[in-house]
């Protein structure tokens, strides 16, 4: 039986509709910014904290929309599934690589879907949702 990680992730778009992808140090897969919930932390609080820690961006809860829960395989951890609380936001601010982030890029959702180095949550849930709008 796989291990389960509960995380909060942010589908962050810029004003031209590109999505921000990040790659954490020591990994090969790109994903949305976000991370594990701390004990007793709500998914909303976790996503706001993670985005501030990883990218230096600050959002108020009213600026971030809940997009539901996604369950599936983890990108960078073997025999692990994630329960991802997905949120969405748009920004015109410039993120800065911080914390454990090694690389970030803004990419058109259709182009992102053609990449071989994107996490299952992006490939199976986030990008199809963006392209289906």
CATH number for position 104: 3.90.79.10
Q: Which residues are CB-contacts of 71 (< 8 A; sequence separation ≥ 6)?
A: 81, 82, 83, 84
Report pLDDT for 133: 61
Which pTM value belongs to this model?
A: 0.92
CB 84 within 8 Å of CB 9: yes
Domain that holds residue 32: 3-131
Provide the pairing of β-strand 34-36 with 65-73.
unpaired
Q: How confident is the model at residue 47 (pLDDT cuts 50, 70, 90)?
A: very high
Give how many domains the chain has, as a whole number: 1
Instruction: At 132, list the tokens.
Output: 């289906």
Cα–Cα distance measured from residue 30 to residue 48, given in angstroms and rounded to the nearest whole number:
19
Q: Report residue 35: phi and psi, to 5°.
A: 175, -170
């Amino acid at each position: 039986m796989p291990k389960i990680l509960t995380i909060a992730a942010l589908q962050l778009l810029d004003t031209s509709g590109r999505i921000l992808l990040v790659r954490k140090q020591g990994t090969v897969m790109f994903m949305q910014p976000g991370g594990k919930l701390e004990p007793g932390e709500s998914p909303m609080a976790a996503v706001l904290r993670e985005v501030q820690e990883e990218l230096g961006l600050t959002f108020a809860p009213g600026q971030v929309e809940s997009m539901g829960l996604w369950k599936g395989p983890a990108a960078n951890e073997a025999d692990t599934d994630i329960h991802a609380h997905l949120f969405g936001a748009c920004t015109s601010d410039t993120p800065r690589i911080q914390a454990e982030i090694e690389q970030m890029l803004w990419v058109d959702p259709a182009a992102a879907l053609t990449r071989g180095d994107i996490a299952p949550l992006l490939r199976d849930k986030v990008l199809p949702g963006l392209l289906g709008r």
